[in-house]
Amino acid sequence: MTRTGPMPAEGMATDMSTPVQSEIDAEIGALHEAAAKAVAAGAPAEVHPRRDFAPYRSSVLRHPKNPLVALGDPDAVELSGPVFGVTDITELDSDLTRQHPGEPLGERITVTGRVLDRAGRPVRGQLVEIWQANASGRYAHQRDQHPAPLDPNFTGVGRCLTGDDGAYQFTTVKPGAYPWRNHLNAWRPAHIHFSLFGTAFGQRLITQMYFPGDPLFPYDPIFNSVTDERARQRLIAAYGHDLSRPEWSLGYRWDIVLDGPAATWTEAPEEDL
Ligand SMILES: [Fe+2]
């Protein structure tokens, strides 16, 4: 990336069309307040991110505007979707620090948790995929032009299958925060992207895990597109000292509780407790 001049001071827009943080903050505040009033009036809490959340600027034009379409024949999607098999996944796939000749830079961490359905039952054999920025906040992707260093020893992609107890585990490095141009001085809190495939490609769920105590939470429109405070807190992993390994890594625990029949698609509806 080539800079043609000094970076603008914080709070100064580069042009009239670039919102500043205070505008984004005001929009988030108003939307959260309206959501809280709706809940107080009896509406159910919104535990998923809103598809149309104006402070998240790029979502305004690209979010689905029509109701979701139920798949009449879920099996038909399998004919054109990716194919994953148990034999394709090796132990190395879940250790993002061992995918290159050298070790990546950064704070080594282990992230573990369980994938559970709404009733608290473990979801076994679930394909869990993650992708993340490196310790400097840079993705190994050509579209990421953030002027932070790439790490030749870190790709930032991993996957594993959950065990009989629904548990998954990854070894990686803590990702850095990165700027994303949603508005002036927009920075994403450190996060790891998670994908779960369910029992069929059409059930894929994608979410993000955050780290406790991140000072960027109040400023991030993506994190705040979940208007329910308790639901936002469920996106944040817990530091687990029991998971930290002496002289090796820090541990974080993050359980993923799948909501409703998407978690257990093969079950009869009456079993959806
Ligand atoms: Fe990201």
pLDDT tens for 122-149 read 999 999 999 999 999 999 998 888 889 9
Catalytic site residue 178?
yes
pLDDT grade, residue 88 (50/70/90)?
Answer: confident
Asked whether the predicted pLDDT for residue 156 surpasses 80, the reply is: yes
pTM of this prediction? 0.85
At residue 223's C-alpha, the angle toward residues 21 and 257, to 5°, is: 175
Going by C-alpha positions, the residue among 161, 169, 170, 167 that lies closest to residue 99 is 170
Catalytic site residue 32?
no
Asked whether the predicted pLDDT for residue 50 surpasses 50, the reply is: yes
* Mean pLDDT score across all residues of the chain: 86
Q: What is the pLDDT of residue 204?
A: 83
> Which helix (DSSP H) or strand (DSSP E) does residue 89 occupy?
none
Is the domain spanning 21-62+87-264 CATH 2.40.50.70? The answer is no
Catalytic residue among 168, 178, 210, 219: 178
Catalytic residue among 114, 159, 191, 232: 191
- Find the 148 Cα to ligand 1 centroid distance in Å: 15
Catalytic site residue 252?
no
CA distance 201 to 50: 23
- Find the 105 Cα to ligand 1 centroid distance in Å: 18
**Is residue 11 packed enough to be buried (19+ CB in 10 Å), middle (13-18) or exposed (0-12)?**
exposed
**Tokens representing residue 49 in the block:** 């991110």
Q: What is the pLDDT of residue 86?
A: 56
Write the single-letter amino acid at 145: Q
DSSP letters spanning 18-38: S--HHHHHHHHHHHHHHHHHH
Asked whether the predicted pLDDT for residue 265 surpasses 70, the reply is: no
pLDDT in tens, 184-217: 999 999 999 999 987 676 778 899 999 999 999 9
- Find the 133 Cα to ligand 1 centroid distance in Å: 7
Q: What is the pLDDT of residue 198?
A: 74
Q: What is the pLDDT of residue 85?
A: 59
Mean pLDDT of 159-173: 96
Catalytic site residue 188?
yes
- Find the 189 Cα to ligand 1 centroid distance in Å: 9
- Find the 43 Cα to ligand 1 centroid distance in Å: 31
In this structure, are residues 100 and 155 in contact, taking their beta carbons and an 8 Å threshold? yes
Catalytic site residue 193?
yes
CA distance 220 to 137: 15
